[in-house]
Amino acid sequence: MKTHFLYLFSLFFLHFQFLEFSVSLSPDGLTLLSLKSSIDDASVFSNWNENDPTPCSWSGISCMNITGFPDPRVVGIAIAGKNIRGYIPSELGSLVYLRRLNLHNNNLYGSIPDQIFNATSLHSIFLYGNNLSGPLPPSICNLPRLQNLDLSNNSLSGSLPDSLKNCKQLQRLILAKNNFSGEIPAGIWPELENLVQLDLSANDFKGPIPNDLGELQSLSGTLNLSYNHLSGKIPKSLGNLPVTVSFDLRNNKLSGEIPQTGSFANQGPTAFLNNPQLCGFPLQKSCKGSTDSQQETQNSAPDSDKNKKKGLSPGLIVLISAADAAAVAIIGLIIVYIYWKKKDSNGGCSCTGKRKFGENEKGKFCPCVCINGFRNEDSEVEDQDRAENGKGEGELVAIDKGFTFELDELLRASAYVLGKSGLGIVYKVVLGNGIPVAVRRLGEGGEQRHKEFVTEVQAIAKVKHPNIVKLRAYYWSPDEKLLISDFISNGNLANALRGRNGQPSTSLSWSTRLRIAKGTARGLAYLHECSPRKFVHGDIKPSNILLDNDFQPYISDFGLSRLINITGNNPSSSGGFMGGALPYMKSVQTERSNNYRAPEARVPGSRPAQKWDVYSFGVVMLELLTGKSPELSPTTSTSIEVPDLVRWVKKGFEEENPLSDMVDPILLQEVHAKKEVLAVFHVALACTEADPEVRPRMKNVSENLERIGT
């Protein structure tokens, strides 16, 4: 009897302890303990203390005071990239005020429990980068506020449920890199009026592309259906999508002619690669006569073999002999020409003891009477003739006919150093008429490569745009190569943002920053789309964006890499000085690590591509928005450094941090600009996508920016 009494007493005591524990922790806290118990390694939850009254101080947990409740309620769970292994407990569905669930980049397995969608306040679910399996729960659209759903890079399977059409508020649907199969269902897309991003790439979808995908009028960025097994023709209705939308239909089984209406006109060839049966613009595969041409090739093959067996005909032998004789005659003429040219040069001036441009009066080199001063012409034919015939020694060639000065005037003028880098020394020179110019000295080598030098300079000279530094003239001699360009008086964007001493500038209002972004985008779009060579800049960053007194931007330093290679200089670092007044000691060092470069641009041996510039420009926009530099520099304040600015901003948006936490504090004073700032953020994030194929073209970026603030 005594033993039985002690047993009952112990049970009562344990029950009392449990009641006391239950009362001490809020209901939301008790629910979160189910997540802790579902994880194999609980070290991530080391500060999840059961004795706390609420879970609001626990790592990864966000709370908010809700009217009518004594304790704060859990509104956010953010435990991402912790490498935790376990499953998602269904009890999380009882967190009725939960708004954000961020468990991405872990090792979670199992299916997504249906009960989780009882948390009807959820509007953002980020579960990408795990090992989740099973189908997409049909009850997912029971969430009336769901805006962001990213389940990419998992092992989810099955077909897409028709119930997706009930996700009326959905803005981003990202299901890439899973095992979804079947056809992409029709009938749901017209209902998703707010959908901004759709990514169904790298799955096992088959069948045709639904026609009603063309009704996604809110879509921006990239419609990504690549790496599936989609077949049939591309529906013309996709041309009804906004012109800013890029397509990615690579690696499918699509066939027929690519439509040429609407948004299709803005697509590049990479959007359609690896669809063997596709033809038409922008692919280099005609839709007409392809079968006939193949047949002709097959029929001509035997004939060519017969010709080889027959050997050379007598007529062909006579033609070859005549060609040989003509070649010998031409070589003889060239030898005679060189002989008389050397004889003439011996009677001309002899410049001895030449010195380098930009040195003091005692160090200037003599101009030589045989230089003949200024040549006011831009005839490409004559330039090419001079290059081929070896003339062009000691030439000052004006690109712009309205830009007149003599070589002696240039050499006598006072010159002082603006900057120095692997792209050459840059001087400011004030001509006799009071006009300042920027003179870049490229190097001393390359005397045997005059033709290449002239060709490259001519290509740069053809680029004429209000937001690109204009090349006015150049000088070439065997031991001196100079580029003369406009002098841009107000320094560069790096100094405007960070100040002369690395401190943030207070002079850049939001309207000024937006003007700089728009102008730079226009200039880059011109380089990519309209310039004769379709230039890739390859080094877009704030120090290469020069500013005038009205803060209009000018892109500098494009097309110089080949010139540097010709002159034998080593562009190991870039200071970005062409045409601008830039203090050397600041600008060269602050961007040495160059986190403005796209991920693929950092791979040794990679070839420059236009999408490099798109990424770099995106980082520049993020710096304009946040006031934070992506570079590590001993000269700048640590309070404005973010080593990985792109990741920092993307994480802020995923966790839905207040805009005030990311925007430059100076801009917070301009309350009216909030909507515009948010729009530019979205453009910048699209530019800085890790996959270059997903990034928009610079033309589309410029068009998107032009719509903002107008």
**Torsional class of 538: left (φ above 0), alpha (ψ -120 to 50), beta (otherwise):** left
Contact 22, 30 (CB under 8 A): yes
Beta-bridged to residue 231, according to DSSP, are: 253
What is the three-class DSSP state of 384?
helix
CA distance 72 to 70: 7
* Spatial distance between the Cα atoms of 373 and 27, rounded to a whole number of angstroms: 88
Query: Residue 498 in contact with residue 505, Cβ under 8 Å?
Result: yes
d(CA 518, CA 545): 12
* Beta strand ranges found along 311-463 (DSSP E): 374-375, 395-398, 415-421, 424-430, 436-443
What's 58's DSSP letter?
A: S
Laid out side by side, the sheet with 222-224 consists of 61-64, 73-78, 100-102, 124-126, 148-150, 172-174, 197-199, 222-224, 246-248
- Cβ contacts of residue 231 below 8 Å, gap of 6+? 206, 207, 208, 252, 253, 254, 255
Three-state DSSP at 75 gives strand
d(CA 345, CA 685): 60
**Upper half-sphere CA count for residue 584 (Cβ side, 13 Å):** 14
Among all residues, which ones are annotated catalytic? 539
Here the tokens at position 254 are 């699509």
Strands (E), 194-336: 197-199, 204-207, 222-224, 229-232, 246-248, 253-257, 277-279
Would strands 374-375 and 395-398 be described as parallel, antiparallel, or unpaired? parallel
SS3 assignment, position 39: strand
Cα torsion 620, 621, 627, 629: sign: negative
Q: Is the peptide bond before 276 cis (omega within 30 degrees of 0)?
A: no
